Amino acid sequence: MEIKSSNSLESSVYKDALAIRKEVFIMEQGVSLELEVVDEKGPVYFTGYLDKTPVATARAFEEEPGVWHIQRVAVRKDYRGQGLASELLNTIEASARKAEIKILTLDAQDQAQDFYKKLGYRVVGEGFMDAGIAHHRMDKSLLS
């Protein structure tokens, strides 16, 4: 998978990321457009391509010094189960390490916790609802 990144809302990387998010979160999971498409300016968008087809996405921003918050991790339905989300998150982690980021954090849907645990994330704190879906914060230290 080829992974491209951009922080420009005019880029094809962002537009492809948004298309994947609309397909996965709005069409599949029933999240409203108003809840999904927020705080678009600022994050770095990562989009993975197979044969030039956009198939996976996530975004990250520096929530506080040394902490990247990863959001909107999504893989198109026909491409799931191929390790693409892991590859995408490993690429984000490599970028974070280059930027000397110490902690990655994300708000994981509860049904995805096992996936994130395999990548080294741990559950932090109490659960909460976001867009009608149960979530928990999960963190990964990059200090080792």
Which pLDDT tens digit goes with each residue over 9-53?
Answer: 999 999 999 999 999 999 999 999 888 988 899 999 999 999 999
Q: Model pTM? A: 0.94
pLDDT tens for 46-72 read: 999 999 999 999 999 999 999 999 999
Alpha carbon distance, N-terminus to C-terminus of the chain = 27
What residues contact residue 84 under an 8 Å CB cut-off, 6+ apart?
A: 1, 48, 50, 55, 56, 75
